[in-house]
Amino acid sequence: MTKIIGLTGGIGSGKSTVANYIASKGIPVYIADEEAKKIMEREDVKQKIQNLFSESVLNDDTSLNRKKIAEFVFNNPEKLKELNAIVHPEVQLHFKNWLNNHKDFPFVIKEVAILFETGGNKHCDKVILITAPEELRIERAMKRDNLTKKDILVRINNQLPDSKKKKWSDFIIDNINLNDTFLKTDEILKILAKT
């Protein structure tokens, strides 16, 4: 049976870099956030999301205004919960179908930013956690997402601290130096290939 390996890490930790590196080795990688974005643009899902908010969260071209949604939900845990209740089941169903198409592989990687927060780790055989010092994470996210330090800190505070995630992870990669990160990733892939 194909094993599911969870890959997670907070904003700016570099989990996408590691996910892309693993994918370059021919290992199937499911990027939950990317798939969620596509699913959220489906008409049926988009309508459910719009119904959550009193004002329009759509752009002129009827695509979702993600910035507006983020502003609404990041300071409102209840709204965030309601949004997740719409999106997460759809993503789980999508992943199930994706997994069926990759069942000939010994293991696949499922990259999820909020793996522990959603209890998704319970559905993984092993978990790889990507960490980095907070200042470095803030710097990376500011560069990549064009966000302010304040915006990033709000997101960091909405995620579980690494200290907790480390207790529940099977492998930890401190992503400070990219060469070291890739070497450590290779070691973990070798271990996973043997189990």
Binding-site residues: 12-17
The packing angle between helices 43-52 and 32-40, to 10°, is 90
Which neighbouring-strand residues pair with 7?
A: 111, 128
- How far is 83 from 29, CA to CA, in rounded Å? 25
- How far is 17 from 20, CA to CA, in rounded Å? 5
Residue pair 13/175 in contact (Cβ under 8 Å)? The answer is yes
Chain-centroid distance of CA 90 in Å reads 15
For residue 92, what are the contacts with CB-CB under 8 A and spacing of at least 6? none
Binding site as annotated, residues for ATP: 12-17
